[in-house]
Structure 1
Amino acid sequence: MRVVVGLLLLLLALCGSGAQGEGGGLGQVGEISEFQETAPRDAAEESAESTTKQTTPDIWAEVRALRDMVVELKVFVQLLQRENSDLQTRLSSSESELLLSKSRIDQLERENAVQATDLTSLGTRLTATESKSSDLEKENAVQATDLISLGTRLTATESKTSDLEKENADLQTRLSSSESELLLSKSRIDQLERENADLQTRLSSSESELLLSKSRIDQLERENADHETRLTATESKSSDLEKETADLQTRLSSSESELLLSKSRIDQLERENAERPKVAFYTALTDAGHVGPYSTDITLKYSKVFTNIGNAYNPATGFFTAPVKGVYYLQFSVCSNRTGYMGVYVYKNNQLIMFNDEGKEEVGLEYLTKSVVLELKAGDEIYLVLPSDYSLYDSPHNHNTFSGSLLFTL
């Protein structure tokens, strides 16, 4: 690189001197021309002029050669500059790669440090494992000794078992013989028990007949004594019966009078019962399936009327209207098949009497049933209201019902 720079400086110096020489030559040529026009020529001057004319083309040739060399040097310099730029680029790339290499080396050094730590840990664990293996070998040796001892004991046990099996076979033979003798003994005992049972039966029969005979004799004696006592009592009771007969006739007359009064009261009650209003109804909601949920409260109209004695229930409005003042028994059942809430309000005229509801978390039929006893005046209205966002379910099986009856008038 230093040699190249030196050559460039030398070439630039040459270019400068060549340019000065070219300028000087041109000045000399101008001066010569002006001298030729103003001064008279002599032979010496002519010879000098001819010499100058001969040397001038040589100088211009050198100048042109120097200019060509300068152009070539400029081209060469440009090439060198491009090469220098490429070298700079490559140098920057090499430096970047060197930085990356250093970073990678640092990373590898850290990884090596971590691996060294892991290796140290593994060495520690290996030492612990070797120690544990040594302990296990010792335990295996102890277990092998125990196993040999157990083998010896097992051999002794097998020998003893063989002896016990022989003894057991002898005992089985003796047991079979004893069982045969026992069966014979049991057969003899059974025969003796049957004979004893027959004797006991015959003895019991004889004792029973004897007891019956004694009992019959005692009974006959008691009957004779009773007959005598009853005869005496009958004679004394005959007068008492006459008195009782007179008393019974008196009481019979009194009972007949009371009976007539009772019949009269019964007739009066029957007439009052016939005149008393009869009120009873039983209804179901619908066959349409799901009812609700709605965005507002709605009055339920139980459209299926099975019983409506006294026509106090109106299916067109869903209202039960009390025909007379009295005490009424009212009942309703609620059913739903959806998740969510089910329930009803019970209203008397515009007064809320009851609210029952229940939350359902699973699909399926679920019921609730309630009843009330209310004192109503003639014209009071009872009706059920489905709350908003609540739902019911009914079908031909009549899951939702509304019923009631008059208990008594006031």
Structure 2
Amino acid sequence: MVAIITLLVLLFSECGAQIQCSQSELETENQLRELRAMVLELRGKLTGTQKELRDTTTALHDTKTELAGVKARLATTETEVVNLEKEISKKPKVAFSAGLTNSGPVKAGSSELSLVFTKIITNIGQAYSSTTGFFTTPVKGVYYFRFTVLDMLESRRMTILMFKNKEKLMGLAEYDTDGKETYLSGGVTLQLDSQSSDTDNASGPTHLDVSAELRELREQLTATQTKLQDTITRLDAEKPKVAFSAALTNSKYVQAGNTEMNLVFTKIITNVGEAYSSTTGFFTAPVRGVYYVRFTVMDYPFSAWMDIKMFKNQEQIFFLADHEAQGHLYISSGVTLQLEVGDVVNMRLPAGKRLYDDHNNQCTFTGFLLFPL
């Protein structure tokens, strides 16, 4: 009996051990499966990380390319801003007018005489010398030159020459026999060079943080583009636009009485800025600056004198006269004037004199702003 009980105990002990062993193996297998799942998950994450790294590398390359493009656009925009600011602040201002002399006749001897116009009327930029009579180009550009000369001809020829350096540009001549005033007038547009030149260099810093630099450059580009647009808008708004032309009348003869007559050119051709009044005949300077003003008048004098005057405020700028025994006669001239705000320019007809105009606009008064000061 005792032997039987011992055998049963042994059998039960072996069964318990087998059960415990099976449970341990099962747990190990579960752990292995979990490890395999973790490895697969890590492999997936690693694959995703590698793809993300490749995408990041590509994005970094694209960002560097965009950065280079933004740098180039920024440099171009900043250059445009600099150039515009230079145009505003450093635009050359050149204009002159001068009268010849107060000493009466000026005569050449046995050789050509270089004329020295000694009476400075306007000399913005100081490019004209009243000592030498030379205009010297301060900057490369296109210039307009005009002259008017007069002599009392008594069966002789009046000749005038214009030179650029040593090159003769113009040679005009007139002949008259009555000993009265005879005018010669001419003008030309010239492209002239200067020896001066300007060189600008620019460079910028390099940043290691590409993304941060890109953001900074984008902000700079936006700010610079805004500044450029503001500069363009300001330049356009601040630059005054003034120009006028007007003809005298359709009523044919205009004659002064016993006193000097203020001429009113009633037929507006152009009046940008509304600075010329067809009611008063006055051009009133709307801004401080340098203006070019000219006129042409005509009559059939029939052995009478034709006279004309130009005034700046109460200062006489021109008094021109001519004589013709028969037919029609023109007088024409122009001048560069520095005017302050409110200064007025007008034409006057001396007492007893007359002019002729009709639908053909033979008599005109013209002016325009060259540049503000």
TM bucket (normalised to shorter chain) is: 0.3 to 0.5
TM-score by length of 1: 0.37
TM-score by length of 2: 0.40
**Which structure is higher in helix share?**
1
Structure number with greater CO (CA < 8 Å, separation at least 6) is 2
Q: Which has the larger radius of gyration?
A: 1
